[in-house]
Structure 1
Amino acid sequence: MTTGTDTVRVDSWTWAVRLFKTRSAAAAACRSGHVRVNGSTAKPAQPVRAGDEVRVRGAGHERIVEVTKTISKRVGPAIAAECLVDHSPPPPPTEIQMAAPRRDRGAGRPTKRERREIDQLRGR
């Protein structure tokens, strides 16, 4: 475990503070552009240090955390909580999440018109 002004890889740090279940999942999220450090897209080997802001997008919401300690080894949840400050917005209410329409099982693939309607609902 490293602390202080040392730098640690962003994929290693996000895994160590339990933002991802595996380090390979953290590296894959970095490669696909779901992790940002101080506003710019991060590669897996980008260094983070105390005071940096890390944004992780996944599972329908975004986590915004500030690095307080740099660690490279996975630790228990109590110690991991000391290594970051969570600035994430609260999750949306359950009613909003459940309001999204679902297709019936066995209904087949959506038509082109239905895909456009789905994209319009999702705001794309």
Structure 2
Amino acid sequence: MPEKEKLRIDKYLWSIRMFKTRTLATDACKAGRVKLGGANIKPSHEVKMGETYHISKGPERKVVTVTGLLENRVDAKTAVNFYRDDTPVEQTTGFKSMFHAPVLKRDRGTGRPTKRDRRETDDLKDNFFDKAEEEED
């Protein structure tokens, strides 16, 4: 794959498949969801080998170290060779546990939930995620 000496952070994050489009990568940089040493960086920031970036994508947090510069987007198996994922295990398992949230189902034919039903459902969901955050601390 062609490597480049100078590369923008938004293009790099798109090429290693952290974001689906380059526009999403640019927007994440502008919104302060991509950090270098705790400081927000602009989409035009020049990527250097060995730099460590903290990336937030919704509830997911990633710590990525640059091991190679990649100008064009490639398949996922190849893209893994151009960065090292240094995300702590606690954060990785915490993110995955969100997918094991209780699934609330209603019986078929019971109609729309009432306001009371909705409040009970919201309370169950809120309590589940509050307990998960306490376990992480």
Is TM > 0.5 for Structure 1 vs Structure 2? yes
Q: Which is greater in Rg?
A: 2
Runs of 4+ in 1 over 6 A off after TM superposition: none
Query: Is the aligned partner of 1:2 residue 2:7?
Result: no
Gaps of 5+ in 2: 103-112, 120-125
Q: 2:101 maps to which residue?
A: 98
Give runs of aligned pairs for residues 24-35 of structure 1, distance below 5 A: 24-35=23-34
Higher relative contact order (CA 8 A, sep 6+): 1
> Structure 1, residues 73-114: CA drift from partner, whole Å, max 9, x if none?
101112110000001122315279627xxxxx774xx9xxxx
Q: 1:88 maps to which residue?
A: 87
**TM superposition shift of 1:12:** 0.3
After superposition, the Cα gap between the structure-2 partners of 1:44 and 1:78, relative to the gap in structure 1 and judged at 3 Å, is same
User: How many equivalent pairs are there?
Assistant: 111
1:15 and 1:21 in contact (8 A); partners too: yes
TM-score by length of 2: 0.66
**Once superposed, what is the RMSD of the aligned Cα atoms?**
3.1
After superposition, the Cα gap between the structure-2 partners of 1:76 and 1:106, relative to the gap in structure 1 and judged at 3 Å, is farther
Letter in 2 for 1:78: K
Gaps of 5+ in 1: 100-104, 111-116
Tell me the distance in 2 between the aligned counterparts of 1:68 and 1:42: 19
Please identify which structure carries the higher helix content. Answer: 2
Tell me the distance in 1 between the aligned counterparts of 2:47 and 2:98: 37
